[in-house]
Structure 1
Amino acid sequence: MRTTRKMASVAVVGALALVATSCAESDRGEGDGSGGGSSTFTFGAAGAPEMFDPLYATDGETFRVTRQMFEGLLGIEPGSAEVVPELATEWTSNEEGTEWTFTLRDDVTFHDGEPFNAEAVCANFERMFDQNEAGQVAAEYWGYVMGGFSNDPDSSLYQGCEAAGEFEAVVTISRATSGFPTMLTLESLSMQSPAAMESGDANGIATEGEGFSFPEYAQAPVGTGPYTFGEYDEANQTISLEANDDYWGDAAKTDNLVFRVIPDESTRRQELEAGSIDGYDLPSPADWSGLEDGGNSVEIRDPFNIFYLGLNPEANPMLKDLKVRQALMYALDREQLVQSQLPEGAEVATQFMPSTVSGYNSELEAYPYDPEQAEQLLQEAGAEGMTLKFAYPTEVSRPYMPDPQQLFEALRTNLEAVGIKVDVQTASWNGGYLDNVTAGKYDAYLLGWTGDYDAAFNFIGTFFGNLKENDFGTEVMPWGKQLADDLQSADGIVDEAERATAFETINQQIMEDYLPGLPISHSPPALVVGPDVEGVIPSPLTAEEFDTVSVGGE
């Protein structure tokens, strides 16, 4: 999920695995509309949503809530990154990959009773496309995957939507891309009630200081999911959702779903142990065994992330030399770091994506820990004793980076051992660190990425696919444009096998010829639930759906 750093409001199209067609029925099954729950599941959230319209959301805590209320044309199989039908039962494209026909479910209504049909689908696309100036900044995901809005249609991947029948919608895009239609699994592109959006002035967003003023609709939006919006009690920092009695699929296992905002991780653990919440996300790896000893269940997700040491040759010209970047790679004892600092199941990275993503190059081997080779390369480059302005974030724990300071200190020790002088820099995650990385204020920095979906471009395309919109300073490198062009070309290959081969080649070039940054590791993040909780399905995308969860044997 794109919660690791800020995105440009208009960026290149993200890439996803191309789904040519799918005819399988949803595994949700058919609900009887009676409502299946008789209890409450309370989850400890690390932060409070600013509002609840997924189109304008960018952070994981907001999506954790909206995911329970909204659905997209396509969904993700629980417990995996596999694309499956959701509100669309099948989808096909023309040979050029530019016209996509979606066959829709005919038994779905929005929470306000309005019908879900092809006209509603097109109304949603047009609503997302037609944003005012403030909306174009706030709707970051649309800008990221679609490239543009109605004021600049030539830059937009999206070109139009037509209702070809009551339950058949045809969406036209400007070019073939591996990003479509799998991008429709994104929470931000969920389907919402056109009637509710119109009455609530959903697009009436405005700038307010450095943020936004959201319309009435954003505080109580209307979707099709297994839960409906209840209330947001800001005073007590709780968000309450209620089971949707008219849901088209299997009824939610609980009548109520509550999110309690508890920013401190240690406090969340205390609340779980006291029984006042039923679960929380990202428990410290050091606490896993203790939590399990207390009868709780630590649910470990499969790794779908990358932790890396970013390099910025714009800030430090010495980093333009490949030998210097290779020296830094050889200097890092990543195997020791994985064994001592990261949870069980973490592994050293050989490239900027996990092995489960199509396009991963299985022939690549990890750079070994070789401080003598590092010193030799630094000498050859005339960079002995170089100073590196190296930064890490505070006040944060990420799935790939559970304790930033400890990880930083281990890497700092490695660098200093080969003669590099480290100028330590730090700032809080949302209090300057991300902005400083984007502004190029550090020579080197710790950051990472949890994939939005199963696609090579969503990893390496996000990092290097836009020459000017990346944090690695590749614009000043002689190979920067070629790498960006190669990634865009690979993204446009319609044949899945050919596209995978192209990305495998690019991954090899990145690691052997370019090395724009230093991939460190992949980690399996966890969430924890209490002894009486059943039915949690851990998601490698950290995108759990809680309608399958029951509490206390209910």
Structure 2
Amino acid sequence: MPDLPLSLVSRRAMLTGTLATTALALAACTGKSGTQADPSSNASASSTPIPRTLRLSASAPPIKLDPAVVADNESFRVTRQVYETLVNIDLDTGGAIPGLAESWIESTDGLTYVFKLREGVLFHDGTELIAAGVIANFKRWESLSSSQTASSTQGFFDVFHYDCDIPKLPKADDLEPEVKDGESASAEQLATQQERVQQLTELQKQFTTNLFTGKSKGGSASYFRSVEATDKYEVTLRLRRRLPDLIEAFTLPGMAIAAPSGLTGGPEDNPAESLATAPVGTGPYKFVSLDKVVVRLEIFADYWNQKRLIDNKQHPEVVLISSIPSPYNREGALLAEEVDGFDMVSVDTMRTLVRNAKVVVQRDPFSVLYLGMDQRNKWLAKPEFRKAIAHATNRTSLADKLFIQGSKYAATILPPALNIPSPENTPSHDESKAKALLDEINYKGEEIEFAYPLRVSRNYLPLPERTFAQISEDLAKVGIRIKPRPIAWTDGYVKTVQSSEFNGLHLLGFSGGYRSADDFFSGILANKANEFGYKSALLDSQILLARSIPSGEERTNAYASILKTLDEDLPLLPLVFPISALAFNGNVTFYPPSPMLNECYADVQMTNSPALKS
């Protein structure tokens, strides 16, 4: 396909939120906005046809194009087009539907799954998807190094908790509150202790049974037992303990199936090294190039799901994804008609988009922004200090001022869509309580380092610098002094704040990959010892046992108890459940927003911009 100029021209009336999505869909159905221009008015008959091209601006370049060893959504933005998973997500319900596996059967004990693969599916290298290729991916995932798995939060190790061990339950004495010499525990501390002792008693009953069956090549708490090809198009997976959310977990981008040809040929410690820069999957788009900050994808002519493409004749044939860190510059590129759309609309850019009659499509909130509080810090180690920060931070104001309308303050790390009740009496904004707590521990204004990212926008953090500034202002009002630590996102911000070398406050967040509370607990707390200086055998035990409870009241209560433990220990302060949004010019007539960011461009409906048709 021919190379294309960077400049596009487009126009459309402004819509926002659900209204925008509905109107775009209606326009596509009626054909009013989706019809192609008359070829006679464009290039001559002898000219090479210009493919429908979607030019989308993201906030950062992809880190790697190997979804098994990354955790950033900008990488997944690309890999979701190139790769596919055994199980897919229904765009309407968010539930699991067939993907590369056309069906599956679960055994009555929940320990065996048999997947029937689709026949005739081709990888971009021309080879066919068969069970042996799926097994090759599993074997590769099992053998990933610790450094590779440390960079992933939505892959094999996270789904199966492959390297985890069964936690050792604490003793009742370990749950006694810490008090100063000569002082007595408060009534609140004693009540918490009593409740935790009761929880421990219930946990001990369950830990007397054999929690896992069969041998493990990973940790003692690994859910993965074995996988084998039981027919050419049949894969049988066996578990060591029930995982009721397993099918939904298979939709995670890190569980994408790569072509076996890409799994070999690299160095001994990373045979699949080529996938980082040259991904090969079964998806509707094949990877063509990554030139500086622009990724080029082209439609895969032999894509197995031709019905998907035929039913949407206005899908992009070429996708160009560029990187523009600043939300204001992304907005400028759209207004200058250099791109068709951009992601991570901020509350500030929203105003300009409204004035310029651009299309805005919002996603339902399914991510959380939080303030990490590392307990290896002298002051952050004190429960009173962390609670003072919670009372000092005006989360409602933060959500209202710096996030798109409809974003809400977060009382817990679980989005409302998961329907897990919040603990009673979570810390609310109260400056007088914050000051009283600081006086109680004799805090005299010592500086606390506070890290925040530069030159990036995330769906949970569209305006990092201003978010940092507002929280710092809140803390200053109660006497907490901050030492700013700005770190460019591309200079290893996440790695820094999740390391043992950094022991202060930091801003970070998590985007849910599928509808499961365990996804949030596991994703946010996977590195809690380094990120928050936090260890809790009680919490680890609660999470492990809750993970295997089928959906229902018992499971809801178990997750509510986990939230209560987190609220009492306060290793992090949930801040906001943000609504994220994309903006488009009028040549994009439908975009499929997903709370889980599982957005395939083969479902976009568009016409070429006037610039490309002239």
* Mean CA deviation greater in 385-394 or 544-553: 385-394
TM superposition shift of 1:62: 2.3
Aligned mate of 1:85, from 84, 94, 98: 98
Q: Residues 7-156 of structure 1 correspond to what in structure 2 (within 5 A)?
A: 39-49=52-62, 52-78=65-91, 81-131=94-144, 141-148=155-162, 153-155=217-219, 156=222
TM superposition shift of 1:496: 4.8
Q: Residues 277-288 of structure 1 correspond to what in structure 2 (within 5 A)?
A: 277-288=339-350
Contact 1:311 1:444 in 2 (8 A): yes
Contact 2:325 2:456 in 1 (8 A): no
Tell me the SS of whatever aligns to 2:380: helix
TM superposition shift of 1:90: 3.1
The AA in structure 1 aligned to 2:242 is: A
The AA in structure 2 aligned to 1:90 is: S
The AA in structure 1 aligned to 2:369 is: F
The AA in structure 1 aligned to 2:601 is: F
The AA in structure 1 aligned to 2:355 is: D
Contact 1:225 1:244 in 2 (8 A): no
Structure 1 residues 397 and 71: CA distance shift in structure 2, 3 A:
same
TM superposition shift of 1:330: 1.3
Structure 1 residues 238 and 193: CA distance shift in structure 2, 3 A:
closer
Q: Residues 529-548 of structure 1 correspond to what in structure 2 (within 5 A)?
A: 529-548=584-603
Tell me the SS of whatever aligns to 2:236: strand
The AA in structure 1 aligned to 2:241 is: R
Deviations 1:113-137 (A, max 9, x none): 4333333332332233344787666
Measure the CA separation in 1 of the matches of 2:487 and 2:608: 45
Measure the CA separation in 2 of the matches of 1:255 and 1:534: 11
Question: Any gaps of 5 or more consecutive residues in structure 1?
Answer: 1-35
The AA in structure 1 aligned to 2:375 is: P
Q: Percent of counterpart pairs with the same letter?
A: 28
Structure 1 residues 137 and 347: CA distance shift in structure 2, 3 A:
closer
TM superposition shift of 1:522: 0.9
Aligned mate of 2:432, from 369, 372, 375: 372
Structure 1 residues 178 and 515: CA distance shift in structure 2, 3 A:
farther
Contact 2:446 2:480 in 1 (8 A): yes
TM superposition shift of 1:379: 2.3
Q: Say whether 1:298 aligns with 2:360.
A: yes
What's 2:172 paired with?
Answer: none
Q: Say whether 1:391 aligns with 2:405.
A: no
Tell me the SS of whatever aligns to 1:541: coil
TM-score when normalising by structure 1: 0.81
Aligned mate of 2:562, from 496, 503, 506: 506
Aligned mate of 2:289, from 224, 232, 236: 232
TM superposition shift of 1:304: 0.9
Tell me the SS of whatever aligns to 2:81: coil
TM superposition shift of 1:508: 2.3
* Mean CA deviation greater in 213-222 or 122-131: 213-222
Deviations 1:473-501 (A, max 9, x none): 113xxxx2211221122113245542222
* Mean CA deviation greater in 53-62 or 439-448: 53-62
Contact 1:145 1:179 in 2 (8 A): no
Q: Residues 454-465 of structure 1 correspond to what in structure 2 (within 5 A)?
A: 454-464=515-525
Tell me the SS of whatever aligns to 1:67: helix
Tell me the SS of whatever aligns to 1:232: strand
Q: Say whether 1:482 aligns with 2:538.
A: yes
* Mean CA deviation greater in 498-507 or 378-387: 378-387
Contact 1:162 1:169 in 2 (8 A): yes
Structure 1 residues 361 and 220: CA distance shift in structure 2, 3 A:
same
Question: Any gaps of 5 or more consecutive residues in structure 2?
Answer: 1-35, 37-49, 164-215, 610-614
Contact 1:134 1:205 in 2 (8 A): no
TM superposition shift of 1:390: 2.5
Measure the CA separation in 1 of the matches of 2:290 and 2:572: 43
TM superposition shift of 1:107: 4.9
Measure the CA separation in 2 of the matches of 1:538 and 1:134: 33
Measure the CA separation in 1 of the matches of 2:555 and 2:224: 22
Structure 1 residues 498 and 465: CA distance shift in structure 2, 3 A:
farther
The AA in structure 2 aligned to 1:509 is: T
Contact 1:304 1:354 in 2 (8 A): yes
RMSD: 3.1
Q: Which has the larger radius of gyration?
A: 2
Deviations 1:164-207 (A, max 9, x none): 3343321112322355233211222212333x33xxx5362467
Q: Say whether 1:169 aligns with 2:227.
A: no
What's 1:519 paired with?
Answer: 574
What's 1:182 paired with?
Answer: 248
Aligned mate of 1:345, from 406, 426, 436: 406
Q: Residues 392-431 of structure 1 correspond to what in structure 2 (within 5 A)?
A: 392-431=452-491
What's 1:269 paired with?
Answer: 331
What's 1:250 paired with?
Answer: 308
Tell me the SS of whatever aligns to 2:82: coil
Tell me the SS of whatever aligns to 1:250: helix
Measure the CA separation in 1 of the matches of 2:148 and 2:565: 38
Contact 2:316 2:601 in 1 (8 A): no
Structure 1 residues 506 and 338: CA distance shift in structure 2, 3 A:
same
Structure 1 residues 227 and 345: CA distance shift in structure 2, 3 A:
same
Deviations 1:209-247 (A, max 9, x none): xxx896456544432222233x21526834132243443
Structure 1 residues 410 and 461: CA distance shift in structure 2, 3 A:
same
Structure 1 residues 246 and 548: CA distance shift in structure 2, 3 A:
same
